[in-house]
Amino acid sequence: MVSEEKFRWVMGHFATGVTVVASRAPDGDPVGLTVNAFTSVSLDPPLVLVCLHKNADGHDSILQAGHFGVSFLAEPQEDLALTFSQADPHDRFPGLQVKDGSLGSPLLEGALGWMECKIVDVHPGGDHSIVVGEVETCEARDGDPLIFFRGNLSGIGS
């Protein structure tokens, strides 16, 4: 079997976009985390999947909420990617411009795009949960994406 280190190194050669996946805890507080394991699954119905580490802050709250929002980070939002991956979970939302989607998921202002999804299925995937969501609403704007490549965050032209 391939070692975790080797697998991580090889996967680092696959450039991905960077997202923040967010929802609401049972008490109504926003929860969110940086995720790059996100992709479309189906056009009819419109489905996406996101992979959430089972030990991640927010994992259980997102599943309990039954919905989630995905904000596609734009190139100048590297600080948000770091905040949602490294900061204390209670320090991630204060001071941010956030709007709630129709299902109640927090969506980050200034994101390159966003979608709000209701959870339709959850599959085990090793140390992650593979969460399938049906897209209820979505929007995008012009701009350049933030990407993750070889362990670094950058823009397309960087």
Q: What is the pLDDT of residues 116-151, one digit of tens each?
A: 999 999 999 999 999 999 999 999 999 999 999 888
- Cis peptide upstream of residue 145 (ω within 30 degrees of 0): no
Q: Is residue 83 part of a domain?
A: yes
Q: Is residue 44 part of a domain?
A: yes
For residue 54, the domain's CATH number is 2.30.110.10
Among residues 60, 146, 154, 137, which one has the least CA distance to residue 100? 137
Task: Kindly indicate the confidence band of residue 98, based on its pLDDT and cuts at 50, 70 and 90.
Answer: very high
Q: What residue numbers bound the domain in which 99 lies? A: 15-147
Q: Is residue 154 part of a domain?
A: no
Per-residue model confidence as pLDDT tens digits over 33-89: 999 999 999 999 999 999 999 999 999 999 999 999 999 999 999 999 999 999 899
The full length of the chain comes to: 158
Report the distance separating Cα 50 and Cα 86, nearest Å.
19
Number of structural domains found in the chain: 1
Q: Is residue 94 part of a domain?
A: yes
- Is the overall model pTM greater than 0.95, yes or no? no
